[in-house]
Amino acid sequence: MAEPLPFGPRRIPDRVRSWHPDRIVDDLLLADETVFRRARPDWWVVAFDQLGLAVLGVVVALVVALQGWLVAAVLILVSAAGWVLWRIVDSWYTRYVLTDFRVLRTSGVLERNVEFIPWRKVTDVSLRRSFWQRLVGASTIRIESANEASRFRAMTDVQDPREFFRVLQEVMAAYAGHVEL
């Protein structure tokens, strides 16, 4: 078999080509890091959150179309639909991961954002469920840390929030230990 040339195109490593959000997370994990739970925002909740914008876009497009400006109406509809679709795709690229070392969030379609908080810095955790989140079975989990400069504040619209929060509590209890009286 011929030796590869020292110049020219080379094979692109898998880690660079990994566009699937779960592979992105896998590339970020340490060799000995154990994953306890993975979650992502529920696309249905994200779509429902954007429903107001979609309805407003349709109403404005209808009003504009009735004025005879069909091109503007189509542009408004395409813009509103594009925004809603972008939010859904963006939520699909967001992952929340609980490991034995940290809580991790990855997000972004074109621009990759990675934030994590080691368990030793977590100071407070809370669960919030708005009326709409309760209807669709999602919640927002807020994490406070000793590092106030961190951008990682909340995991929004988490699927299966009870199970995710239960695992989160178990990891925190294992890390901090139980208080004996």
pLDDT at 159: 83
| Selected residue with higher pLDDT from 10 and 86 | 86
Sheet of 122-128, strand order:
122-128, 138-145, 154-159
User: Which residue, 121, 118, 116, 129, is CA-closest to 161?
Assistant: 129
CATH code of 34-173, in short, is: 2.30.29.30
Residue pLDDT, tens place only, 64-108:
888 888 888 888 889 888 988 888 888 999 999 999 999 999 998
pLDDT over 90 for what percent of the chain? 15
Rounded Cα–Cα distance for residues 106 and 20 (Å): 12
pTM for the model stands at 0.77
Residue-wise pLDDT for 17-58, tens only, equals: 567 888 888 888 988 999 999 999 987 788 777 888 888 888
Amino acid letter, residue 109: V
Distance between CA 47 and CA 54 in Å, rounded?
9
